[in-house]
Structure 1
């Protein structure tokens, strides 16, 4: 029975994460930049921030079940963040001759994503006291 709850936690979290990801992709954010894949960039930054935030909150502030961790980390954030799409978009930009944009996208996603993680850790520590 415990395995079924784990499967449900990952599946439900994954469904919600995928829907959130799709919602951002289908939003008007898609037209913010002509060639820069802003929705994926935003999802990766927000996902990095949330992983940092929940990492600290679940470790230092709140006692949560393994199923809750599975729901958030593996399910929701696993489906929400999109590094496989990120890699494909970099490859597509290079293939279409947008080398500078692809390099900017790659570097800014990694650097700003890491800053998002640090921000989430910092905020989590503020909440955790």
Structure 2
């Protein structure tokens, strides 16, 4: 059985609402797309700067990308606790900082390229270590950051 019209479940005499003509679907999403793009540019620039400051030698373990991904995941853990448990954040904060800045800062595409380069250049052992260590470090960083942030918040409430 289907409901004839979801707006009229409780009141069969309620008027049917139709969307206004000409309303652009981008009208509500435009600001979100803009802040994600802006945040992504900020995060990508920060990641690029880290790579320039601490370049990885050919065949070496990509410590910079590894550290950026782990640190970014830790910040995501702290941020998500704060905006879900503590703050009533503006609707654009999460897309700007979480998706944009931290999405642009963390770089799992570079992780994949680094693994491929290590294998292609005959450094399979380093590549396998990096392949296994990065997701483990990222998950551990999120978990530790969430756990620590929640414990700190509980202690501050006492």
The reply to whether TM is greater than 0.5 is yes
Cα displacement string for residues 43-102 of structure 1 (whole angstroms, at most 9, x for unaligned residues):
110111111111111110111122100001111111111101101110110011101100
Q: CA offset at residue 31 of structure 1?
A: 5.1
User: Hey, which bits of structure 1, 4+ residues long, moved more than 6 A?
Assistant: none
What TM-score, normalized to structure 1?
0.89
Larger radius of gyration: 2
Q: Say whether the 8 Å CA contact 1:50–1:120 is kept in structure 2.
A: yes
* Structure 2 unmatched runs, 5+: 1-26
Task: Calculate the aligned-residue CA RMSD, in Å.
Answer: 1.8
Normalising by structure 2, we get a TM-score of 0.74
Flag structure 1 segments of 5+ consecutive residues without an equivalent.
none
Q: Is the 8 A contact 2:74 2:145 kept in 1?
A: yes
Q: Which residue of 1 aligns with 2:122?
A: 97
**For residue 26 of structure 1, what is the aligned residue in structure 2?**
52
Which runs of structure 2 are paired with 1:13-92 in the superposition (5 Å)? 13-27=39-53, 29-30=54-55, 35-92=60-117
Indicate the structure with greater helix content: 1
Q: Secondary structure at the match of 2:92?
A: helix
Say which structure, 1 or 2, has more relative contact order (CA 8 Å, 6+ apart): 1
2:41/2:101 contact within 8 Å kept: yes
Does the Cα contact within 8 Å between 1:9 and 1:70 map onto a contact in 2? yes
Q: CA deviation at 1:114?
A: 1.3
